[in-house]
Amino acid sequence: SLQNIIGKLTSAIQQNVMGIKVVKAFAREDFEISKFEEIGRERFRLQLKIAKLGAFYGPLMDFAAATGTTFVLWYGGMQVLNGTLTLGELVAFNTYLTILVGPVSLIGWTISMLQNAIAAADRINEILLTRQETHLRDGKKELNHTRGHVEFKHVSLAYKSGRNALMDISFEALPGEMVAIMGPTGSGKSSIVNLISRFYDATEGKVLIDETDIRDYRAASLRRHIGLVAQETFLFNATIRENIAFAHPGATLAEVQNAAKIANIHNYIMSLPENYETVVGERGVNLSGGQKQRISIARALLKDPAILILDDSTSALDTETELMIHKELKSVAKARTVFIIAHRISTVKHADRIVVLDGGRIVETGRHDDLANAGGLYSQIYHIQLSGQDAEGAAPVMEGRTHGR
């Protein structure tokens, strides 16, 4: 239907504008343009059909109405002449008829409005139903206070589409610990985080917080204690201050600044013309990936969560800035349980526990010292990164190996 086509057009425009960089980077302009033209032509064909129908039925309706009036006047006029009808009655009848035309044509108009609305409702329902697919049964327990003890017990997770993303995952994060999760892309790191925040539920096994299945908690009360810096950063079209204070709109400027300082973005914000009142997001100042990540970190910190999750949150930063943030984070981390997903050994080295994933399974757990030379995936990554730093004067690979630990 027309509504469908208009929807397609709108989303094609939106996607292409938002993803213009990707389109350009992959040299897909011609393809995107021809795709757009195709939808445009389809709309043109439909609109033309509607115009043709209108051109045919419009005059037909007018003709029918005019014929009706002519008939009434002719037949009524005869009766007036015969004396069976008074002139007043004929005029009254004709007037009522004219009044009736409006509401009747309104019925037709309403029906076409209704059709449009049903088409639009289809698209809205599409969204509503998608959400329902991942809708989770909400628990009843209020999580008012948490020690931040997190435990995975034989957890498997299969997304709706496809094979298991996680298989038989068991590990524990004690209150106040820092747990690092490492592994190649697609190994299931973000999936673990999805489970803790309850964006998804385990297919098998369970996730416990303070020895209670997280499905028993009311999801909103659970999430109040979790500060998540997701892999994809997202900033709202709002001021930096509003973005950082997202969880606590009432936070003072000093609190916002404190979070920004820990996230190592305060100085940059102060260099902007309107400081913390600078508008960012799609319609605001353009920020780099690393700057967005740091604002997202500040946002999570301001929430003062018992459980802090950093999912690849420093990947867009240079090593130096990353190290600076982690130095700052260390003091913040003491009082909370921290999950950190990262690729640089330098970032995860000091974690209390390192969980190494591969293909949805845990292949190793332990501290840096246990894993660095254990010959597993972690030590492979370690030695690759070590050799990468050779030029900067780090210990050569072989030396690292022979020393052992």
Ligand X SMILES: Nc1ncnc2c1ncn2[C@@H]1O[C@H](COP(=O)(O)OP(=O)(O)O)[C@@H](O)[C@H]1O
Is residue 159 a contact residue for ligand X (CB under 6 A)? yes
Torsion of CA 291, 294, 296, 298, to 10 degrees: -140
* Helix/strand/coil for 338: strand
Q: Which does 249 bind (CB under 5 to 8 A by kind): Mg ion, ligand X, none?
A: none
CA–CA separation, 188 and 79 (whole Å): 88
Return the residues of window 163-182 that contact ligand X according to CB under 6 A. 165
Q: Which does 239 bind (CB under 5 to 8 A by kind): Mg ion, ligand X, none?
A: none
* Helix/strand/coil for 13: helix
Q: CA triplet 234, 235, 239: central angle to 5 degrees?
A: 175
Is residue 161 a contact residue for ligand X (CB under 6 A)? yes
43 vs 344, beta carbon nearer ligand X: 344
Which residue blocks in 134-206 are alpha helix, DSSP H? 189-196
Site string for ligand X, 116-155 (x = CB under 6 A): ----------------------------------------
Total residues binding ligand X (CB under 6 A) = 12
Cα 104–chain centre separation: 47
Return the residues of window 29-88 that contact ligand X according to CB under 6 A. none
Is residue 187 a contact residue for ligand X (CB under 6 A)? yes
Query: Under 8 Å CB-to-CB from 199, ≥6 apart: which residues?
Result: 134
Q: Which does 351 bind (CB under 5 to 8 A by kind): Mg ion, ligand X, none?
A: none
CA–CA separation, 365 and 156 (whole Å): 18
Chosen residue from 188, 290, 305, 400 binding ligand X by CB under 6 A: 188
192 vs 269, beta carbon nearer Mg ion: 192
Minimum distance from residue 192 beta carbon to ligand X (Å): 7
Chosen residue from 83, 88, 162, 273 binding ligand X by CB under 6 A: 162
Chosen residue from 146, 149, 173, 189 binding ligand X by CB under 6 A: 189
* Helix/strand/coil for 199: coil
Q: Which does 191 bind (CB under 5 to 8 A by kind): Mg ion, ligand X, none?
A: ligand X
Pick the piece of the chain touching ligand X (CB under 6 A) from 64-72, 85-93, 156-164, 259-267. 156-164
CB 231, CB 316: distance < 8 Å: no
Pick the piece of the chain touching ligand X (CB under 6 A) from 7-15, 17-25, 188-196, 235-243. 188-196
Which residues are near Mg ion by CB under 5 A? 189-190, 231
Is residue 186 a contact residue for ligand X (CB under 6 A)? yes
Nearest C-alpha neighbor of 10 from the set 131, 129, 123:
123
133, 151, 305 from 216: Cα distances, Å = 20, 15, 20
Backbone dihedral region of 393: left (phi > 0), alpha (psi from -120 to 50 degrees) or beta?
left
Residues that bind ligand X in the complex, under the rule CB under 6 A: 159, 161-162, 165, 183, 185-191
